[in-house]
Amino acid sequence: MFHSVIEFLKNAAAEQIVNDPVWAIIALTGQLVFGGRFVLQWLASEYKKQSYVPTSFWFVSLAGSLILFSYSVHIRNIIFMAGFSLNTLIYLRNLHLIYKSAKRVNVPAVNRTNG
């Protein structure tokens, strides 16, 4: 069984990475960005000493989702297209709600430094 798993991974690597390296790099970048959002959220929570989802989490989620959506279009996978398009809408909606809430209390949605 272990041998068949290794063979599967070799074949998948040859098919996806060797035959289409640019899109393989794009997909890997999307996965790293998308997965990195949880590291970002974890570090923000550790800093605040409580569970916390920073606004940057939604921006990173949006970026990763758009990259992976592009890849899913490239490989013509309708299931991934549907999933990442829905994710994108949810992340945009969360950012819109954050912006509206910040505007109501007159606080910048994203902290900016002058200089």
- DSSP string of 57-84? HHHHHHHHHHHHHHHHHHTT-HHHHHHH
Q: What is the mean pLDDT of the chain?
A: 89
**Mean pLDDT to the nearest integer, 18-22:** 86
| DSSP 8-state symbol, 25 | H
Instruction: Yes or no: say if 53 and 40 are a contact pair by the CB < 8 Å rule.
Output: no
Cα atoms in the Cβ-side hemisphere of radius 13 Å centred on 105: 8
Tens of pLDDT, residues 44-68 = 999 999 999 999 999 999 999 999 9
Q: Which of 41-55, 70-84, 95-109 has the lowest mean pLDDT?
A: 95-109
- 115 band by pLDDT with thresholds 50, 70 and 90: very low
- Asked if the model's pLDDT at residue 23 lies above 80, the reply is yes
Domain chopping of the chain, boundaries:
23-104
Look at residue 107 and give its three-state secondary structure.
coil
Q: What is the pLDDT of residue 104?
A: 78
The model's confidence at residue 14, banded by pLDDT at 50, 70 and 90, is: confident
CB 63 within 8 A of CB 84: no
